[in-house]
Structure 1
């Protein structure tokens, strides 16, 4: 089901965004791309933690209001971070809202937050929230790159009594329609 949703989202983004060309310095429009980085995951149980590589896809839409930019997006990340023997975090997806300020020509400094869900191999999945900040720079017509740091919380993960928090730092690249 998740694969079909991701494919449908990508097709909708491409179809709707193709008519909206990104001019230099204008953030209005759809975007899609990828991200890769590092995740550090901790729990309230001593010795149950882990860190490693995380990466996936990004989709979204921004609206340029002049000096300010607002937008929403969707991220899906794959990972294989072991927390304890037999417990692995497999994926994380997020629904985001972001707002930022044009700090230099074609650069955007922003705050972000929203809903997240993390899935494991044998403890199921659970939802939580996240907040963070990032910077994005348009480097070529329709191409932007940036970085983002996010802090996540998942309390009482899947009714197990385990509280989970995670910090991710990722490099992002997007094609802007």
Structure 2
């Protein structure tokens, strides 16, 4: 009886010790199991880019023009109206383009009997891509057709500033101011300067 009792008591005492040893070796309370924090995934910051202005376009313009010449009795002014067509190439920050336009006018000096019938222009344009805005400078060659006491046409130069705003992918609105110079118009000895300002609507396709 004594031997059996000792064996039972030894087994009862040994069981908790064995359990504690097993918990320690498995990372129990005395040695907590380490957890690895998830590695953060880098997220690229959004990059702001401008609109793509590349493509052919055409449209119309409506504006105002005024002549300035020492050889005219007054500085006649009047309505201008016309059409334009061109192509732009977006290089990223800068936009290059070429355009042809023609304006009919209601500009007339009744006293001198001189009327400007039409102005045709061949333009080069350099603009800055500011998203939906495109401010630009332009310059080129202009041909003016006049009638009345001076019935002729002549070629001069012009330069100016403009800006366009993209309303949608296919519609743009803008404004443009141009300064023209025609020296010794068709050999008449008359120098003519002309300033035009116009609102424009263009359709890109």
* TM-score, normalized by the shorter chain, greater than 0.5: yes
Equivalents in 2 of 1:80, 1:94: separation in Å? 17
1:148-163 aligned within 5 A: 148-163=176-191
Q: Are 1:89 and 2:124 counterparts?
A: no
Shift of 1:106: 1.3
Structural RMSD (CA):
1.3
Equivalents in 1 of 2:75, 2:117: separation in Å? 14
1:39-54 aligned within 5 A: 39-54=65-80
Shift of 1:140: 1.3
Aligned residue in 1 for 2:134: 108
Shift of 1:160: 0.7
Aligned residue pairs: how many? Answer: 153
Shift of 1:26: 1.1
Equivalents in 2 of 1:48, 1:89: separation in Å? 14
Structure 1 gaps, min length 5: 1-23
Shift of 1:57: 0.2
3-state SS of 2:186 partner: helix
Equivalents in 1 of 2:117, 2:91: separation in Å? 37
Aligned residue in 1 for 2:163: 135
Shift of 1:141: 2.0
Confirm or deny: 8 A CA contact 2:72 2:109 kept in the other structure.
no
Equivalents in 2 of 1:128, 1:71: separation in Å? 20
Confirm or deny: 8 A CA contact 2:138 2:159 kept in the other structure.
yes
TM-score, normalisation: structure 1? 0.83
Equivalents in 2 of 1:139, 1:38: separation in Å? 24
Aligned residue in 2 for 1:165: 193
Shift of 1:44: 2.0
Spell out, residue by residue over 1:66-110, the C-alpha distance to the aligned partner (whole angstroms, 9 max, x if none).
11100000010001211243211010000000001023x211010
Spell out, residue by residue over 1:3-56, the C-alpha distance to the aligned partner (whole angstroms, 9 max, x if none).
xxxxxxxxxxxxxxxxxxxxx921101000000001011112252420011010
Equivalents in 2 of 1:144, 1:27: separation in Å? 10
Higher normalized contact order (CA 8 Å, seq sep 6+, divided by chain length): 1
Of Structure 1 and Structure 2, the greater strand share is in 1
